[in-house]
Amino acid sequence: MTHKFHPTVLREYDIRGIIGETLDVEDARAIGRGFATLLRRAGGKKVAVGYDGRVSSPILEDALVEGLTGSGVDVLRVGMGPTPMLYYAAASADDVDGGIQITGSHNPANYNGFKLVFQGRPFFGDDILELGRLAETGDWLHGNGTSERREILDEYIDRLLEGLAGVDRDWLSTLRIAWDAGNGATGPSLEKLTALLPGEHHLLFTEVDGRFPNHHPDPTEEKNLADLKAIVAEKKLDFGLAFDGDGDRIGAIDGEGRVIWGDQLLMIYAEDVLRDLPGATIIADVKASRALFERVEELGGKPLMWKTGHSLIKSKMKETQAPLAGEMSGHVFFAHQYYGYDDALYAAIRLIAASARLGKSVTELRGAMPALVNTPELRFQVDESRKFAVVEEVRERLKASGADVDATDGVRVSTADGWWLLRASNTQDVLVARAESSDQAGLDRLLAEIDAQLAQSGLERGEQAGH
């Protein structure tokens, strides 16, 4: 038996497609067969499997488990929950050699996909392409693996709470926080977590509903934070937290309703971590503010700019032994007192802990940050077959012109006005741009540079693409 995946499904750092169009149960079964084959050949035997709250997730899970057991690995089924709960199962259980979460993450309701962990490391790039090669040739091992279900939510919540060790409970009892699950997979986890926390907690949209009836669960888009801002303002809360569809990305606002973007959260976390680990390396992706890298240096840390993508960041953390990393998209990775994977619920706990240890409210911490003018992520449609070529064309032109270009991931160009970035998304048929300056006039000049480069490659920035 062989199988051929749709050409858009096997991506750089995960597997993703549109249900009924580019992704179905046969793909899930083939992923199970291939992953199990690779794991057995590497000496592994057991895989943890979880899934998010999307309508299509349970049927994909059944097919995935069928594929895994059919190629001879045993499966620990942890059920519906956030992706970091699955990561926790894979990292904390002695007998588990890998993990797969079925999730469409922050994408529209008709998408779904798979995030994979292989013997404690991210499974991405050539690993994912190898699944395609195994499927095309039918080079799968055969066997009869077992399947068991295990409830780990309570254990996972207890582990999250360890992030508050040493924080004064009387101080915690004064906190008033809003939490927005966005009808994603974090809802039940947040209900259990906040029930065990001192203080006053206001929860929004914790009912899991894969159609996302209230707002899209992507906290990097400010329009999705409207409900959170409203409740923080109405009840005069200290701050608010929001989560993406599968709970591996965090969003936050302070008590004045100001968004605390991913790089700004990292500035807070870095200050806390560097007090404990002076001189440590702190990693951020190429979309992060120059202010973050400067702040890490100021705090005595070693800033490292790296490629966007949760698997790429996690791999770089292992290589450099960095205790902390983060992305503009709200992925935050703590190896300091945790496992090194992206967990938005743990990041929420660590924000509370950092505020306590630094002796400042979240609003004070946000207010102390430099006032810069920047764009959100600007995403715009480009043909899948063209997106990487456009970035390469821009890079070559800029190099020839003598511009100050960092080519870590796409092109990040520094000028007297600030910096701008253009890179190809690894998960969608879009180019991503971002720019930052000290004032609006400088930002306008940077955007004009982006437009000029795109025009030379026959494109317009035009309207932003959706997710």
Q: What is the pLDDT of residues 325-371, one digit of tens each?
A: 999 989 999 999 999 999 999 999 999 999 999 999 999 999 999 99
Q: Which two tokens stand for residue 195?
A: 């029930």
Mark whether 266 and 340 lie in a shared domain. Answer: yes
Collect all residues with Cβ–Cβ distance below 8 Å to 444 and sequence separation of at least 6. none
- 467, pLDDT greater than 50: no
Mark whether 138 and 162 lie in a shared domain. Answer: no
Percent of the chain exceeding pLDDT 90 equals 89
Q: Which CATH number covers residue 85?
A: 3.40.120.10
Mark whether 34 and 143 lie in a shared domain. Answer: yes
Q: Which two tokens stand for residue 424?
A: 């190809």
- 463, pLDDT greater than 70: no
Higher pLDDT residue, 194 or 94? 194
Collect all residues with Cβ–Cβ distance below 8 Å to 297 and sequence separation of at least 6. 303
When divided into structural domains, the chain yields a total of: 3
243 forms beta bridges with: 250
CB 91 within 8 A of CB 120: yes
CB-CB neighbours of 331 under 10 Å: 24
Mark whether 40 and 128 lie in a shared domain. Answer: yes
Mark whether 361 and 245 lie in a shared domain. Answer: yes
Mark whether 164 and 93 lie in a shared domain. Answer: no
Mark whether 93 and 237 lie in a shared domain. Answer: no
Domain-embedded: residue 225: yes
Domain-embedded: residue 297: no
57, 105, 289, 425: which one is catalytic? 105
Confidence of residue 465 (pLDDT cuts 50, 70, 90): very low
Q: Which two tokens stand for residue 215?
A: 């707002």
Average pLDDT, the chain: 95
Q: Which CATH number covers residue 450?
A: 3.30.310.50
CB 73 within 8 A of CB 154: no
| Spatial separation of the C-alpha atoms in residues 99 and 225, rounded to whole Å | 31
Looking at residues 134-144, what average pLDDT do you find? 97
Collect all residues with Cβ–Cβ distance below 8 Å to 402 and sequence separation of at least 6. none
437 is catalytic: no
Which of 367, 390, 417 terminates a domain? The answer is 367
Looking at residues 206-222, what average pLDDT do you find? 94
Mark whether 255 and 352 lie in a shared domain. Answer: yes
Mark whether 224 and 267 lie in a shared domain. Answer: yes
Domain-embedded: residue 214: yes
Which of 90, 120, 151 terminates a domain? The answer is 151
Q: What share of the chain is helix, strand, coil (3-state, %, to 5)?
A: 40, 25, 40
Mark whether 341 and 414 lie in a shared domain. Answer: no
Domain-embedded: residue 63: yes
- 464, pLDDT greater than 50: no
Rounded to 10°, the helix 187-195/153-161 angle is: 50
pLDDT at residue 106 in the model: 82
Show the domain range for 37.
15-151
- 374, pLDDT greater than 80: yes
pLDDT at residue 462 in the model: 57
Domain-embedded: residue 317: no
Mark whether 345 and 452 lie in a shared domain. Answer: no
Mark whether 137 and 92 lie in a shared domain. Answer: yes
Q: What sign does the CA torsion over 151, 154, 155, 160 have?
A: positive
Ramachandran class of 166: left when φ > 0, alpha when ψ lies in -120 to 50, beta otherwise: left
| Spatial separation of the C-alpha atoms in residues 284 and 260, rounded to whole Å | 15
CB 454 within 8 A of CB 403: no
